Amino acid sequence: MKPENNTLENNPRVDNPNNQIVSPKQKGYLLPILGVILLTLIIGTGAYYFGTLKNNKSEQTLPSTVAQNTAPTKSSEEVPGTPARSPATAFDETTNWKIYSNLAYGVTLKYPSEWSVFEDTQYKKIKLLSEYPRSVDHSVRLEIATYMYDGKTPIEDWWNKNLKASSVGTPAGTTTINGLPALKVTGQGETPFAVYYIPVKNTVYEVSIDEISSSDMANNVKKANQVLQTVTFSE
């Protein structure tokens, strides 16, 4: 009798290390399954590795990209051969207006060509009329007068002390006339009016606008306020 050969190939039932009995037929099925599992693990590990590597590269390059996008660009003046852009400017309606200057009053202003200017020597005022000489009584009127000033009293206190008693107007707060601080007084006499008191050194300039009914009052009132903003003082 030949001795038994206790190898797996010749023994259909052999106890494995886990005490499970594996037949040759079952072993044939297990090998492909183990191969598929191993291949899946390899592919998954590789995908995870390359995905992590790609994310790290993206994070490293992001700051430089942001820095490039946020870096200040050179203006047209800094780039040779590039024409400089001129900023858009609003049309100035006073560009072609006439210029009036009075050295005695220290006043220079611009006014519409259809308006008239004359000096009232009796009341010591400069008057601009929108309808003169056609209709003085129906002109929007801008007048300029002057008062002595100590150069230090707050303008509203000065007005209360010197003009309040004779005025029918009420202070309406401070504003600016061509960059200079001014007290605005408004009221209603025969017609609505606004008066501006502008202290300049030793003089207070009184600039008043009377909204007298005219053929085109709204437009003339607008022009009077434009004239007001062109006034400069050289006292």
Per-residue pLDDT reduced to its tens digit, 155-212: 999 999 999 999 989 999 999 998 899 999 999 887 889 999 999 999 999 999 987 7
The distance from CA 19 to its chain's CA centroid, rounded to whole angstroms, is: 84
Residue 225 domain-assigned?
Answer: yes
Q: Is the dihedral of CA 43, 45, 46, 48 positive or negative?
A: positive
pLDDT band (50, 70, 90) for residue 153: very high
Token reading at 131: 């309808």
CA 207/CA 219 separation, integer angstroms? 19
CATH number reported for the structural domain that contains residue 163 in this entry: 3.40.1000.10
Q: Given this model, what pLDDT does residue 152 score?
A: 94
Segment 5-30 shows an average pLDDT of 50
Structural domains of the chain, count? 2
97 band by pLDDT with thresholds 50, 70 and 90: very high
Residue 169: both structure tokens together: 């107007």
Distance in angstroms (rounded) separating the CA atoms of residues 120 and 136 = 14
Q: What is the pLDDT of residue 102?
A: 93
pLDDT value of residue 232: 94
Whether a cis peptide bond, with omega within 30° of 0, leads into 63 is no
Structural domain includes residue 79: no
Residue 49 scores a pLDDT above 90 = no
**22 Cβ partners below 8 Å, 6+ apart?**
14, 16, 30
What would the two tokens of residue 3 be? 């001795």
Pick from 165, 161, 170, 207: which is nearest to 188 by CA? 170
Same domain, 59 and 107: no
Mean pLDDT of the chain: 76
Domain that holds residue 23: 7-66
Position 81 in a domain: no
pLDDT digits (tens, 9 = 90+) for 103-125: 999 999 999 998 999 898 888 89
Rounded CA separation 23/16 (Å): 10
- What is the C-alpha R_g of the chain? 47
Whole-prediction pTM: 0.59
115 and 208 share one domain: yes
